């Protein structure tokens, strides 16, 4: 079995319209390819929810901050297609760049507030690129459901805000972060880690999980976050861009844990930037 691949909006819309006529519901799983178990878990969840699933694969130049990072992004279309075929995905949409950004393209979708701070501070323009491409993918596929991972938590909340603000008729479904056995969150950037860095990498998640538990038990926020930063650096990370406690839905900074929150971090391990986040709450001490 293989998964059908389409590369133009016209082909995509013809197939989606046929599905709709037969009464099928449609889910979309937006990706940039290099599919790992995290992406596959989204596709599996989508298959449970909808009659037909479309996985999109587009390495979106507008969300990269450097040409080198864009060039280094892995392109593994045929392996990705094979993985999706095994799962039983119904369609892989791999748009040519011109289908997303045709000549004269002049529109940017910008979600204020939620896109500021955290990754927004360190990756200027990144979230405008994400919002613009995701809006296009939603409109091109006309899907009923869209699946996103909690790993990119700021992105998830940004997409939710955009869907609400623009009345896009799609339900955003979030799926838990998939982790290696040692706690490292799956990411297409993990393949860049040297064996020595790979051994250090899980410490980001481990410190976040431990810190979330301490906060839930009542540790004061600011000193506890300072200790967490120190622990990540002591483990071998080179630099921490941010490690912050933010409101779970509005992502507003928090200095005391008085409502459900997320502890979010971005840190550099050698030349690789890793992000992660976990939930914490003053009432439920559950973290994940």
Question: Exposure pattern of 167-177 as b/e (b: 16+ CB <10 Å)?
Answer: ebebebbbbeb
Smaller CB separation from ligand PAF, 61 or 142: 61
Binding site for ligand PAF (CB under 6 A): 30-32, 60, 63, 130, 133-134, 152, 155
CB 200 within 8 A of CB 268: no
Instruction: Name the minimum Å distance from CB 62 to ligand PAF.
Output: 9
Nearest one of 87, 90, 119 to 22, comparing CA atoms: 90
Instruction: Name the minimum Å distance from CB 188 to ligand PAF.
Output: 8
**Residue 2, CB half-sphere, CA atoms under 13 Å: how many?**
7
Instruction: Name the minimum Å distance from CB 281 to ligand PAF.
Output: 25
Structure tokens at 165: 């603000």
Smaller CB separation from ligand PAF, 153 or 237: 153
Instruction: Name the minimum Å distance from CB 172 to ligand PAF.
Output: 11
36 is annotated as an active-site residue: no
Smaller CB separation from ligand PAF, 73 or 242: 73
Tell me which residue has its CB nearest to ligand PAF.
Answer: 30
> Checking DSSP bridges between strand 52-57 and strand 272-280, what pairing results, if any?
unpaired
Smaller CB separation from ligand PAF, 136 or 246: 136
> Which residue in the block uniquely carries the two structure tokens 């839905």?
249
- Within 10 A of 246 (CB to CB), how many other CB atoms are there? 22
Q: Which residues carry out catalysis?
A: 39
């Amino acid at each position: 079995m293989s998964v059908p691949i389409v590369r133009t909006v016209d082909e995509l819309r013809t197939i989606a319209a046929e599905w709709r006529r037969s009464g099928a519901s449609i889910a979309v799983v937006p990706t940039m390819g290099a599919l790992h178990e995290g992406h596959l878990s989204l596709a599996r969840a989508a298959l449970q929810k909808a009659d037909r699933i479309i996985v999109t694969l587009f390495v979106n130049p507008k969300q990269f901050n450097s040409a080198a990072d864009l060039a280094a992004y892995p392109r593994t279309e045929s392996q990705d297609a094979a993985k999706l075929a095994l799962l039983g995905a119904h369609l892989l949409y791999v748009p040519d760049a011109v289908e997303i950004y045709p000549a004269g393209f002049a529109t940017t979708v910008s979600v204020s507030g939620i896109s500021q701070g955290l990754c927004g501070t360190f990756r200027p323009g990144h979230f405008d690129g994400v919002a613009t491409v995701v809006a296009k993918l939603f409109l091109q596929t006309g899907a009923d459901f869209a699946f996103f991972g909690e790993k990119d938590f700021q992105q998830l909340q940004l997409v939710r805000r955009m869907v609400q603000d623009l009345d896009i008729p799609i339900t955003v479904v979030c799926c838990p972060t998939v982790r290696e056995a040692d706690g490292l969150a799956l990411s297409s950037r993990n393949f860049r880690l040297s064996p020595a860095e790979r051994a250090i990498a899980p410490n980001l998640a481990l410190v976040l999980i431990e810190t979330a538990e301490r906060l839930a038990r009542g540790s004061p926020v600011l000193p506890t976050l300072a200790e967490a930063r120190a622990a990540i650096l002591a483990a071998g990370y080179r630099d921490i861009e941010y490690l912050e406690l933010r409101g779970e839905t509005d992502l507003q900074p928090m200095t005391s844990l008085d409502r459900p929150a997320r502890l979010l971090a971005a840190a550099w391990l050698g030349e690789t930037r890793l992000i992660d986040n976990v939930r914490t709450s003053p009432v439920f001490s559950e973290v994940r």
